[in-house]
A and B are shown apart, each in its own frame.
Chain A
Amino acid sequence: MNNISQIIDIAGKQGRTVLTEIEAKQVFKSIGINTIETRLASTLKEATAICDDIGFPAVLKIASPDITHKSDAGGVKVGLNNKAEVRKAYGEIMASARQKYPTARIEGVAVQNMARPGIEIIIGMFKDSQFGPVIMFGLGGIFVEVLKDVSFRLIPIVARDAEEMIKEIKGYALLQGYRGQEPAHIPSLVDILLKVSDLVEQTPDIKEIDLNPVFAYKDSALAVDARIVLEEKVPE
């Protein structure tokens, strides 16, 4: 938890209520959620070195505390297969970000592996004005956007709640595997839900969480993107 309070402190001191992607992923990694490894590269040289280390294909995303909608800023490039593609992507991301957000502080790019595709899951948390922290589970992509196929529970949850909320969604059959697609490993998803619930219970400073997507595989699950919004600090 120490690690987490440090991250939150730093954001607070910088007057930020949104953690960077790398910070958010550090938080989830530190509570034992399987998270795709994402490192910060502040130069092109660092970016290519990280790619050498973690392998291809790679994903580059703009790393800036001031840019939260990275895709809109032309700040995300996926499926980069070699150093040349990484170089080109790096240049384009920087140019686009500087053009669209001229005043943004840019730390560099977040470099990560291209995750093996799995069943897209979304896990989130928000604070309801009546009931306080609420955890959400759903299928990602069009299922959450169009069909709003999500389930909720109040935090804290126990294992039974997590299992129920997974079974409750209309698309549950998709998680059990269909047409030869591999099923989702339910215990891994239950585990993430419980860990998020614990995290929120112990960290009242967190206002919102988005793990979107989480890829579910037949034997595990992997958080691919992560977002944490903090409560507005009341000035002392």
Chain B
Amino acid sequence: MNNIARVTQDSWRYLFSPASVAVIGASNTPGTWGNNAMKGLLNTKDRHIYPVNPNSAEVLGKKAYRSVTDIPDAVDLAVIVVGEKLVPVVLRECVSKGVKAAVIITAGFGETGEPGRKLEAELAEIASQGGIRFVGPNSMGHADTRTQLSTFGQAGEMPRGQVAVLAQSGNMCLKIVRNLAESGVAFSKYISTGNEADLRMEDYLEYLGEDDDTKIIAAYIEGLRDGRRFFQLAKEITARKPIVVVKAGGTQESARAVMSHTGALAGADAVYTAAFKQSGVIRVEDDDELCDVVYALLNSPLPRSNRVGILSIGGGPGAMTAEACEKEALAIGALQQGTIIKLDKYLPSRWPRRNPVDMAGPSAAEFSVIADLLWALIEDENLDFIFLLAPIVMDRALLASRMGLSPEAIKAYREKEEKNMMLIREKVEKYQKPVVMMWQSRFFSNDPDIASLFRKSKIIVCANARRAARVMRHLVWYRQYLDATLGK
């Protein structure tokens, strides 16, 4: 069908760093797609934005044009948000205008049935004849933080980062982006790929594999159009940057939902699983797990193997964590004799002298004690990573009420906490052993200080032991995949 021609660098440039953008279907009505897209694009002044709307003289203070062909200057990118029946007409106008790339936000195509599929095929045909590459239809937009381009309609400056998100669902795309952003993760690019009538998951993957801004690729996949090509690309890319995938369609009902959703073929799930495994793609269960894994990959070295050391403030959390670890096929490492001797110095004589290490109650104020224990575990050659279950960070409410600290004292306490976290960070780097902390969540929205502390110190933080164990299983697996395939 279409898509035989590989996407050129020029096409990608027009898509992600256009000098001029036309919004066809731009609107003054707040809440409409045509209004959102305009607002997002007006974030930066470095780009010409041309609203197209035959019924308004102006949109958001910009002179509006009746048709894209009336725009006096060249147009690199068109954002199309008109009714679905009008899209072919508008796309033809884009061709005659010499537009280079497009994002079709409009829905109502292949995902709705046969007439929609025909209309969608028509778009692909018009674009391929006219030399336009496009995202969508049924896309929610695309964004590039380097060029501050967003067709999603978000307002405000986008911080630059190293994570790219590809999603065959616009809602999942934004959910993942928001979740990670709250954990302090920034992005290189993110794309709601829509129905992929022209540009497909495989094309974006190929591009992001070569993209210097992107260090980690996260993807939400419902079905691939060229699985073999995905496999070959992934195999090559995962050797240098991780790919984390959540794929829907693993159960019969979800497969049906996917089918009616994007009209993609949800292939046999077991074959997808095999393809991911064989190409080093980390497959996760859901978007929360995806975010956990991306966060960990971004902030931590990969563990050498699967032996965990658990350092817990009390017996209960340690037991829960040990159980979660075993369920995820992680091994509770046997402490070296030297470590036990070291720990004897710091712990009451009744400590059980094995992993999980129960600190039996030092208070959070005694970070020095916790630190000595933690360093001893990090230095233990039988352990590949450490789960730290201790409140070495406390939220404002606790500090004020239980410890009776004044706002100034809280500030000083925070500084101490930050120093402690940075000390842990140094050890993590030095020994290349991840340390994972449990916290209610990574963002802890009641206390923004804590969120920023986590961001700065780049320690892996997980909401509970099960999620932490799952993350580490994925990281161990990826490390072992790399070791086996790269012959390390």
Q: Which of B228, B272, B277 is within 8 Å of A132, CB to CB?
A: B228
Q: Which residues of A contact B274 (CB under 8 A)?
A: 134, 151-154
Are the C-beta atoms of B273 and A130 separated by less than 8 Å? no
Q: How large is the interface on B (under 10, 10 to 19, 20 to 34, 35 or more residues)?
A: 10 to 19
Q: Which residues of A contact B224 (CB under 8 A)?
A: 130
A130-B227, A131-B227 known; A154+B484 contact, CB < 8 A: no
A145 within 8 A of B: no
A153-B278, A154-B231, A154-B278 known; A130+B484 contact, CB < 8 A: no
Q: Which residues of B contact A129 (CB under 8 A)?
A: 265, 267
A161 within 8 A of B: yes
**Closest approach, in angstroms, between the C-beta of B311 and any C-beta of chain A?**
32
**Closest approach, in angstroms, between the C-beta of B232 and any C-beta of chain A?**
10
**Closest approach, in angstroms, between the C-beta of A185 and any C-beta of chain B?**
23
**Closest approach, in angstroms, between the C-beta of A72 and any C-beta of chain B?**
27
Smallest CB-CB separation from A152: which chain B residue?
B274
A154-190 contacts to B (CB < 8 Å): 154, 157, 160-161, 164
**Closest approach, in angstroms, between the C-beta of B426 and any C-beta of chain A?**
36
Q: Which residues of B contact A150 (CB under 8 A)?
A: 270
A131-B227, A132-B228 known; A161+B267 contact, CB < 8 A: no
Q: Which of A128, A152, A153 is within 8 Å of B227, CB to CB?
A: A128
Are the C-beta atoms of A131 and B484 separated by less than 8 Å? no
Q: Which residues of A contact B365 (CB under 8 A)?
A: none
B226 within 8 A of A: yes
Q: Which residues of B contact A154 (CB under 8 A)?
A: 228, 231, 271, 274-275, 278
B268 within 8 A of A: yes
In the bound complex, what is the Cα–Cα distance between A157 and B226 (angstroms)?
A: 19
**Closest approach, in angstroms, between the C-beta of A122 and any C-beta of chain B?**
15
Q: Which residues of A contact B231 (CB under 8 A)?
A: 131, 154
A154-B278, A160-B484, A161-B278 known; A131+B273 contact, CB < 8 A: no
Are the C-beta atoms of B278 and A130 separated by less than 8 Å? no
Are the C-beta atoms of B278 and A134 separated by less than 8 Å? no
In the bound complex, what is the Cα–Cα distance between A158 and B228 (angstroms)?
A: 17
Q: Which residues of B contact A151 (CB under 8 A)?
A: 274
Smallest CB-CB separation from A153: which chain B residue?
B274
Are the C-beta atoms of A128 and B278 separated by less than 8 Å? no
Q: Which residues of A contact B225 (CB under 8 A)?
A: 130
In the bound complex, what is the Cα–Cα distance between A153 and B276 (angstroms)?
A: 10
Q: Which residues of A contact B275 (CB under 8 A)?
A: 131, 154
Q: Which residues of A contact B277 (CB under 8 A)?
A: 153, 164
B228-278 contacts to A (CB < 8 Å): 228, 231, 265, 267-268, 270-275, 277-278
**Closest approach, in angstroms, between the C-beta of A124 and any C-beta of chain B?**
13
Q: Which residues of B contact A134 (CB under 8 A)?
A: 271, 274
**Closest approach, in angstroms, between the C-beta of B234 and any C-beta of chain A?**
11
A154-B274, A154-B275 known; A128+B484 contact, CB < 8 A: no
Contact digits for B273-299, partner A, Cβ 8 Å, 1 yes 0 no? 111011000000000000000000000
In the bound complex, what is the Cα–Cα distance between A173 and B231 (angstroms)?
A: 30
Are the C-beta atoms of B270 and A152 separated by less than 8 Å? yes
**Closest approach, in angstroms, between the C-beta of B63 and any C-beta of chain A?**
48
Smallest CB-CB separation from A135: which chain B residue?
B274
Are the C-beta atoms of B267 and A131 separated by less than 8 Å? yes
**Closest approach, in angstroms, between the C-beta of A165 and any C-beta of chain B?**
8
Q: Which residues of A contact B268 (CB under 8 A)?
A: 128
Are the C-beta atoms of A128 and B267 separated by less than 8 Å? yes
In the bound complex, what is the Cα–Cα distance between A129 and B224 (angstroms)?
A: 10
Smallest CB-CB separation from A148: which chain B residue?
B270
A153-B278, A154-B278, A160-B484 known; A130+B267 contact, CB < 8 A: yes
Smallest CB-CB separation from A151: which chain B residue?
B274
In the bound complex, what is the Cα–Cα distance between A185 and B336 (angstroms)?
A: 36
Smallest CB-CB separation from A161: which chain B residue?
B278
Contact digits for A102-121, partner B, Cβ 8 Å, 1 yes 0 no? 00000000000000000000
**Closest approach, in angstroms, between the C-beta of A139 and any C-beta of chain B?**
16
**Closest approach, in angstroms, between the C-beta of A200 and any C-beta of chain B?**
14
**Closest approach, in angstroms, between the C-beta of B482 and any C-beta of chain A?**
13
- Residue of A128, A131, A132, A157 most packed against chain B (CB within 10 A): A131
In the bound complex, what is the Cα–Cα distance between A6 and B373 (angstroms)?
A: 71
Are the C-beta atoms of B273 and A152 separated by less than 8 Å? yes
A154-B231, A154-B275 known; A130+B226 contact, CB < 8 A: yes
In the bound complex, what is the Cα–Cα distance between A164 and B477 (angstroms)?
A: 13
Q: Which of A130, A153, A157, A160 is within 8 Å of B265, CB to CB?
A: A130
B44-80 contacts to A (CB < 8 Å): none
A175-214 contacts to B (CB < 8 Å): none
Q: Assuming A130-B225, A131-B227, what are 6 further A-B pairs, CB within 8 angstroms?
A: A131-B271, A152-B273, A153-B277, A154-B228, A160-B484, A161-B278
Interface of B toward A, CB cutoff 8 Å: 223-228, 231, 265, 267-268, 270-275, 277-278, 484
A selection of 10 A-B contacts at a CB cut-off of 8 Å is A128-B267, A128-B271, A129-B267, A130-B227, A130-B228, A131-B227, A131-B267, A152-B274, A154-B228, A154-B271
- Please give me the 7 A-B residue pairs with the lowest Cβ-Cβ distance, nearest first: A130-B227, A152-B274, A131-B227, A130-B267, A128-B271, A132-B228, A153-B274
